[in-house]
Amino acid sequence: MKNIKNGTKSIWAGEKDYLAFGATQVPVVHSVSFGYDDMDEWYDVALGKKEGHIYGRNTNPTVQAFEEKIRILEGAEAATSFSTGMAAISNTLATFLTPGDRIVSIKDSYGGTNKIFTEFLPRQKVDVTLCDTGDHEGMEREIAKGCDIVYLETPTNPTVKITDIERMAKAGKAVGAIVVVDNTFATPINQNPLVLGADLVIHSATKFLGGHADALGGSLCGSKELVEQVYHFREINGATLDPMSAYFLLRGMKTLQLRIARQNENAMKVATYLKTIDIVEDVFYPGLEDHPGHDIAKKQMNGFGGMLSFAVKGGVDTVRHLLPKLTYANRAANLGSVETIVGPARTTSHVECTPEERAAVGIAEGLIRYSAGIEDSEDLLADLEQAFQALPKHIHVQV
């Protein structure tokens, strides 16, 4: 499917070989085990010498169809899957890092990822260096000192900061490091890190890939050599994607391009509107020309994404009053769904972190993460307007 567009790939990629009985949709194969009458064939499948399945913790036809679809969308040699996005991150890091190794990353990564960097990896005697996000010169200096992994997340969660993937990949390759990029916010529709020089691409498939907030999952794409190593770690440690979730993710991905196009559009309109509101201190969205990473995002992304965040005057008090007044937004710890989702970073992306830890990476307690859905933009803007107008007088006076 080399010359096929992403919209067509989202629908057709990876499914044909997994259809059965004339069905037009990939079946959900719930069987835990797969039987063989021929002992030699069974042995060959078990060793990976022949195509097939032996046990659900290792592989499954429905799951494999999902892996094939994301592999094709990311233009990768290979892909594997996981029970969650954090399983994809933790299994990948655990595969390649051992005591004495060094990883260089950014300070603004997702809260769960940040906890791995600040709590779990140091406990395993892995040297972790976190650089200011956007300080490319500083990051290049740290990478040049030598490291085993360069880990990027761009745009970041929740401050949507941007890192130049091509530039950091070049720096990582110069010292022999594996370059890993979390592409969850961008999706393969908006950004393809492998094309920009990354070795591995991670997704929390729970988010935009599935798009309907009804299935957990994660994926990893990259070279066959590297992906097979992570797959081996995952099959032994057991963070397996279940077939029903794989089916929901496959179904959701059929509309991926359509959803992302609408979410890109809605997020841009919401970000632009929020810039006009006095009670809003800052708006963070790479599509805005005054965003510090706008030029890099314009260079490496096909669209600016459906995620934005904004900080309100009055902090937590304003958040408490504003969010419940929104009609067309779920107040929940998720993102990337067809419905708009809002929530402060203190209860979503960085709930695991203390207020001090959040402040250290520039996340105000009044920062609101806004995941634009596919609703009509006019309704989203009107909903925000009525919510701001309905704020209590003491908040307007206070700020």
Size of the chain in residues: 399
Q: Which residues are CB-neighbours of 100 under 8 A, at least 6 positions away?
A: 125, 126, 127
List strand residue ranges (DSSP E) for the chain, in order.
Answer: 78-82, 102-106, 127-131, 149-153, 178-182, 200-204, 218-222, 280-284, 307-312, 330-331, 341-344, 367-371
Catalytic residue among 9, 161, 207, 358: 207
- Decide if 110 is catalytic: yes
Spatial contact of 22 and 15, defined as CB atoms under 8 Å apart: no
Catalytic residue among 36, 44, 55, 57: 57
Identify any residues that bridge with 367 across adjacent strands, giving them in sequence order: 311
- Decide if 275 is catalytic: no
Catalytic residue among 148, 164, 182, 242: 182
- Decide if 132 is catalytic: no
Spatial contact of 89 and 202, defined as CB atoms under 8 Å apart: yes
β-pairing verdict for 307-312 and 330-331 = unpaired
Separation of first and last alpha carbons in the chain? 55
Catalytic residue among 18, 110, 285, 370: 110
DSSP state of 306: S
Q: Which residues are CB-neighbours of 2 under 8 A, at least 6 positions away?
A: none
What letters, b where the CB count within 10 A reaches 16 and e where it falls short, cover 135-164? Answer: ebeebbebbeeebbbbbbbbbbbbbbbbbb
* Residue 283 CA: distances (Å) to CA of 89, 184, 379: 28, 20, 20
- Decide if 207 is catalytic: yes
C-alpha torsion sign, points 42, 44, 50, 54? positive
List, by residue number, the catalytic residues: 57, 110, 182, 207
